[in-house]
Amino acid sequence: MTKRIKTDICILGAGSGGLSVAAGAVQMGAKVVLIEGGKMGGDCLNYGCVPSKAMIAAGHHAHAQAHSAAFGIANVVPQVDYAAVKDHVASVIGAIAPNDSVERFEGMGVEVIQDYGTFISETEVQAGDTFIEARRFVIATGSSPLVPPIEGLDTVEYHTNETIFELRDAPERLIIIGGGPIGMELAQAHMRLGIPVTVLEGAKALGKDDPELVAIALDRIRADGVVIEEGFKVSRVSQQDGITVHAEDGRTVQGSHLLVAVGRKANIASLGLDKAAVNHERAIEVDEGLRTSNRKVYAIGDVTGGLQFTHKAGYDAGIIIRSMLFGLPSKVRTDHIPWATYTDPEIAQIGLTEAQASEKHGDKLEVLRFKFDENDRAQAERRTEGLIKVMVVGGKPIGASVVGLRAGELIQPYALAIANGLKISALTNMVSPYPTMTEVTKRAAGQYYVPRLFQNDFVKKVVRFTQKYLP
């Protein structure tokens, strides 16, 4: 039976961005309709961040069993039950799922429609038999795995991040096409669970991060046993001795299972964007306030084609809530958005890399460096491979890059500083408990004052004068 709804805000997509808008708006008094035809929680909860980190954690524990001799504990060969690892992954998803559930949001007062929505005009969306007219619409449909048009790929069974976590029989040998964050994280996790892995990357593995930091991470990943074939431009795939992947230069790699992890595409195909007068090509076009060409329609998160991180979608949600609910001008910025790749060691970045900062600021740039082997906690943990670099202009950090143990945590003081326009002195004034890994962030900031205080002849003259004449 046809149903018609009028509401303040209609949200398409119940991933992290859509859920954040729904929760914030309804609790501040707006009438909200939330449309989701797939799983609540979206990609991050069900196919991305959560399951991958759960699997990485399992790989970490297996690796620790096999590499404990340096601590006086005998190495043992871990007995891995691959199906039980997947049970662990499912359990973690299940523990978090209630936070994103239909029941929770309906309990808040959100009207949840479990169907896919499509625009039928500039002011109306249809979801199943329900027609929704709203003052404002939010498109938060996210992204999905990009499957490139590789010859023969449709003739073999392959996985993406949407299916790999459902696999319960351990692969004999896993091939991963794509050496970006998803590919490298899952490669190392599988390798540590006893599954031989080869990564095929057409350019450079982890090519978007600082190459000096990437080299440190890749050394450890290769030491774990992952084979990384760079410059491997895939020409075709065939079912031959299992699965064979062929390169343009004649190289071939064989395996039992194939994972495709070459990137993401915005989920816009079924939204009826032309009927909504929303400009789009590969992603939805938005202005600085995340509004589309239809002033009633906003778009946030992956579907806009920008930085594709769960926390970025959550940040976008806050931007548009201010605009939709209070009419306040709000502009999105990205210079303060950090990200991390959860390999071991982790890689984290905020703001400009050294190369980007050098190109933009030239001689005004100062690069501060501090190595993990000078940190006492890193020595105690026997995790001294690591480096932090901080890009500073005019006494303010404009970027930071970290590789090493818990880099995703260590980047956060710089995220705070850059978000709030703090000077480098804010980091040096911070007192860290001893011994902690976070001391590396303070020690890196302290390098800013080395030439100004310890290598400055004028300072030395002043000190000698005061020591001579002060009572």
Q: Is 184 part of any known ligand binding site?
A: yes
| Tokens linked to 160 | 């993406």
Q: Is 41 part of any known ligand binding site?
A: no
Query: What does the alpha-carbon distance between residue 245 and residue 176 come to, in Å, rounded to a whole number?
Result: 10
Q: Read off the DSSP letter of residue 171.
A: P
Query: What does the alpha-carbon distance between residue 101 and residue 14 come to, in Å, rounded to a whole number?
Result: 9
- 398 phi and psi angles, rounded to 5 deg: -115, 0
Q: Is 143 part of any known ligand binding site?
A: yes
Q: Is 141 part of any known ligand binding site?
A: yes
Query: What does the alpha-carbon distance between residue 156 and residue 147 come to, in Å, rounded to a whole number?
Result: 13
Closest CA to 19 of 328, 457, 313: 313
| Tokens linked to 55 | 């699997």
Contact at 8 Å (CB) between 350 and 338? yes
Per-residue CA distances from 213 to 160, 292, 310 (Å): 27, 37, 23
Contact at 8 Å (CB) between 347 and 219? no
- The DSSP element (H or E) to which 388 belongs, if any, is strand 387-393
Contact at 8 Å (CB) between 339 and 348? yes
Assess whether the previous peptide bond of 145 is cis (omega < 30° from 0): no
Q: Is 13 part of any known ligand binding site?
A: no
Q: Is 179 part of any known ligand binding site?
A: yes
Query: What does the alpha-carbon distance between residue 313 and residue 341 come to, in Å, rounded to a whole number?
Result: 17
Q: Is 180 part of any known ligand binding site?
A: yes
Q: Which amino acid is at 136?
A: R
Q: Is 302 part of any known ligand binding site?
A: yes
Contact at 8 Å (CB) between 165 and 89? yes
Q: Where are the alpha helices (DSSP H) in 334-375?
A: 354-361
Query: What does the alpha-carbon distance between residue 427 and residue 446 come to, in Å, rounded to a whole number?
Result: 8
Q: Where are the alpha helices (DSSP H) in 327-411?
A: 354-361, 376-381, 407-410
Q: Is 182 part of any known ligand binding site?
A: yes
Q: Is 53 part of any known ligand binding site?
A: yes
Contact at 8 Å (CB) between 444 and 390? yes
Chain centroid, CA 239 distance in Å: 33
Q: Is 394 part of any known ligand binding site?
A: no
Per-residue CA distances from 266 to 218, 280, 284, 305, 363 (Å): 29, 10, 8, 7, 39
Q: Read off the DSSP letter of residue 269.
A: T
The helix-helix angle for 181-192 and 211-223 (nearest 10°) equals 20
* Numbered residues of the known binding site for NAD(+): 178-185, 201, 263
* Numbered residues of the known binding site: 53, 117, 141-143, 178-185, 201, 263, 302
* Numbered residues of the known binding site for FAD: 53, 117, 141-143, 302
